A and B are shown apart, each in its own frame.
Chain A
Amino acid sequence: MLDSLMAAFGMVLDWQNFFWALFGVTFGIIMGAIPGLSDNMAIVLLLPFTYYLGPIPGIAMLMGLSKGSNFGGSIPAILFNIPGTPQAMITTFDGYPLAKSGKSGKALKTALFASVTADTASDLVLMFLAAPVAAIALRIGPPEYSMILLFSLVLISLAASSSPCRGLIATALGILLSTVGCDPESGTPRFNFGFIELSDGINIMPMAIGLLAFSEVLRQAEKWYDERHAKECSECVHMSERGTDGDRLTLAEMRSCLPTIGRSTLIGSFIGIVPGIGTTVGAYLSYIWSRKKSRTPEMFGKGSLEGIAASEAGNNAVNGPNLVPLLTLGIPGNLAAALILGGFMIKGLIPGPQFMESNAPMLYALFIVLLLSNVYTAVIGGVFIHFARRLTGIPKAVLYSIVPVFCVIGSYASKGSMFDVSVMFIFGLLGYVLNKLKISMPTLIVAFFLGALLEHKIRQSLSIARGDWMIFVDRPISCAFLVMTLAVLIFYILRHARSGQPAA
């Protein structure tokens, strides 16, 4: 191992590796910061460049892109309530309220600190636990997968909302929306209402932008009317009045976020190892768990630093472990990992169990480059924050006039379809109504994200078992998650019964 490590250091000490990783991180932050342009699109745009680069600089650039865009997505999420990437959606809960109160710099710095710390820790998980963890991941089949998803959904619907009834409604509505498109088994159209564009289902980006950003514009229009009538609104109300230490993130605040980052890294790493669940779920579960554990849970959703740290650490911690199934088994954990797999294959490298043995120095070199990319994210991200936080000085009227323009770009850019722009508008109206009814939209979006996967895995499991539902009980990991799901449900029923409220 020591020989491989020394050889790896020798391979890394080439200016090309440093330059292309830096380029990847910078381009990734820019792409992530533009709503609608995700890390996947950034990787697709730069994938052809890897033909002209060596294996390590090429893959270093792709991994830098992935890391950079993950942080970049939090910039518009904090400043404008528009998530740059779907996983940054959770950061809007506390980042945007903090920015509105004049502490956008503090919010962005917390996001950067949590992102880089969790990303580094998750890279260490990848480096030291790749082989043993891959052995466990190999035992996760469709029944286990289904029960993990069911457990996540029950946890999210009960814990994420102050009212379990509203949480369950949001989850069920999310699952219902996820069934739009085609039936996963028969391929027959379902809920497409004659629109061919809905054959692939609803695109998550316009849906999230509509529910979170456009509905916020409508709410602000209403608020502006109220303020005008209360004669509290001046001609030009600035989004924030910068305080004396509003933008500084103190050492004590960083220290106070560390337990949250640690917890979120563990959750994110676990989610990352299981292929396909994704960063959004990692971020949301981390957020919910951190709120439960926090000494000030009432601050969550109102601009809590812990909330930002939990969300950012949760989504960035998925990054490293997501590469575990890719590097050890050759199975990409998500679309970004699949595109990185493409980058490996362009260079004639086939990830899998043999890759770890035959290319050990190169693997270690990639691990070192991953850590180097985190340093770049910290430095370049810091520079970006310096400029980006000035945008909070934009007057409210200007801000809410330009947000719809970004909503159109964000919805259109992912597929180049005007239909997606209409979807954004419809979900904006739905978001406005749901907001009035106090239905949690993030819960709905996460349930939408997981719903299609849950249906697919349940039906896959039933195909394997020829329709026998006992397959979920017969397999130990699946049974354990089923028991945990029931335990959580019983816990909530008992708790609500004891507090005198009807249980959901």
Chain B
Amino acid sequence: MNKDRWTGLVFIIACALLWFAVIPQQTDGPDEAFVPRMATAGMFIPALIMLVRRPKNQSTPPDFRAGAFFHSTLPAMLLVLAYLLGVAWIGFFFSSLVFIPAALFIFGERRVHAFWITPAALLGGIYLVMVHFLHLELPAALLI
């Protein structure tokens, strides 16, 4: 299916969910729902046009490559998710100390010195500017 049609279909499904499920559940009355419903209609009309019109270029596929997604993007997403959970439950500095070398590995870095110089320089700089000079607190939990 053409990318335009994919886009149209995705937004039509999203609009249907919003109109029939989310808006009635998350608003208190017609006045409160007026602008959300107008915005949903504003999304639905162009999405419908994209779905039904004849695409200019039939051969444009959706830009999704399963190999790249499952081998690179998904691990990066999961790593960042684990990092955020670490920041919330352990603390910013300790989690970053673990996250940066892991992310370096995912992005293809193999030089050993980069694995200790990068976290040391970055976290040292952040501590100096944010905590020492600006007295701003960064997330801390079990550790710092």
Contacts and interface: CB of A to CB of B under 8 A. Distances in A.
A2 interface: no
Contact of B31 (A169, A185, A225): A185
A278 B139 CA distance: 31
Interface string A481-504: 000000000000000000001101
A145 to B, nearest CB: 16
A57 B25 CA distance: 54
A418 B139 contact: yes
A436 B108 contact: no
Nearest to A228: B108
Nearest to A226: B68
Contacts of A214: 80
Contacts of A451: 35, 39
Given A169-B46, A172-B39, A235-B111, A221 B73 contact: yes
A450 interface: no
A172 B73 contact: no
B6 interface: yes
Contacts of A398: 104, 109, 114, 118
B116 interface: no
Interface of A: 34, 37, 45, 163-166, 168-169, 171-173, 175-176, 179, 183, 185-186, 188-193, 214, 217-218, 220-222, 224-226, 228-229, 233, 235-236, 395-398, 400-402, 404-405, 408-409, 412-413, 416, 418, 421-422, 425, 428-429, 432, 436-439, 451, 455, 501-502, 504
B96 A405 contact: yes
A186 B47 CA distance: 32
Query: Helix, strand, loop or mixed for chain A's interface?
Result: helix
A409 B126 contact: yes
Interface residues of B, number: 71
Contact of B138 (A193, A409, A504): A409
Interface string B7-32: 10011000000100010001111011
Contacts of A164: 46
Please provide the 8 A-B residue pairs with the shortest distance between their CB atoms, ordered closest to farther.
A172-B42, A225-B72, A401-B103, A397-B109, A165-B46, A397-B107, A176-B39, A221-B76
B46 A405 contact: no
B76 A218 contact: yes
Contacts of A220: 107
A188 B26 CA distance: 10
Contacts of B104: 397-398, 401
B103 A404 contact: yes
Nearest to B32: A183
A59 B22 CA distance: 48
B76 to A, nearest CB: 4
B46 A404 contact: no
Given A401-B104, A439-B7, 7 more contacts: A163-B4, A221-B107, A226-B65, A401-B107, A408-B83, A413-B130, A504-B49
A179 to B, nearest CB: 5
